[in-house]
Structure 1
Amino acid sequence: MKEEFNKLDCPCGCKNAKAKLLAYADCCGRYIDHWEAAPAPDAESLMRSRYSAFVRENAAYLQATWHESQRPADLDFDAATKWLGLDVKHFKITGEDKAEVEFVARYRISGRAVRLHERSRFVQEAGRWYYVDGEQF
């Protein structure tokens, strides 16, 4: 099953130079499935991989990439949630080891459409990027 998922389009919606959707294994999967050896190289890649981890309900990856100062004790996923897409609006370096990513994630829960618009803050420590927190609009 895991190999089948790796051939599917990546949930984050990232495209190559020819505007073709990247396969999960070639996009977020390389960070999610290989966290120890291949951390996300920048805050935008981390944010995209975290979105894909939410789609796949991968709590371990989400916890590992959440900054320890803000990390929740556990995560709950709602089985009624259907993720519909991600749109990265803006990526900005805000300091030597800090960045922000503004995005809109769309999902449906129990038939109701939801639009999550957030500016997320990230920090880099020891060569790894971590999600700190976000401001919702």
Structure 2
Amino acid sequence: MGFPLGRSLERESRRRPRGAEAARYAVLRTPDTFSWLAREVQGQGIGTLTRQAVCALFFDEFDAHKFTSGAHADNPGSAAVSRKVGYAQNGTKLELRDNAAALHHKFILDREGFVRPTTPITITGSSGVRALLGVARPTES
């Protein structure tokens, strides 16, 4: 499974990171994950493997400390994906959704709890992205 991350960041690599999340990453190192899959492809492991791949990328290559995620109470499938990857429930909050209050479960994942995929993941070319995120390793400076 491949992700065109390098291509999407290519044009921005000569500039400073855009957006609050990219600018804060070097300090907080806690990305938030979320996903949405069309109903016809749910239940095939795609969401779980994708989340595992993103977590492996950020833990292994971008030195993430933790991840956060969430799922609305009426979406148990989303919460199940988080639990399969190793996220632990970390509270609830009310969110505005369709002009109504909706209960939202919060999740957190650390390195120790991360359930790695059984499918091998190979990551190449991440040094440029590390520099963009402000987490270059000493040998890359």
TM range (shorter): under 0.3
Q: TM-score, normalised by structure 2?
A: 0.23
Give the number of the structure whose residues are more often helix, by fraction.
Answer: 2
Give the number of the structure whose residues are more often strand, by fraction.
Answer: 1
Greater RCO, 1 or 2 (C-alpha within 8 Å, sep 6+): 2
Q: TM-score, normalised by structure 1?
A: 0.23
Bigger Cα Rg: 2
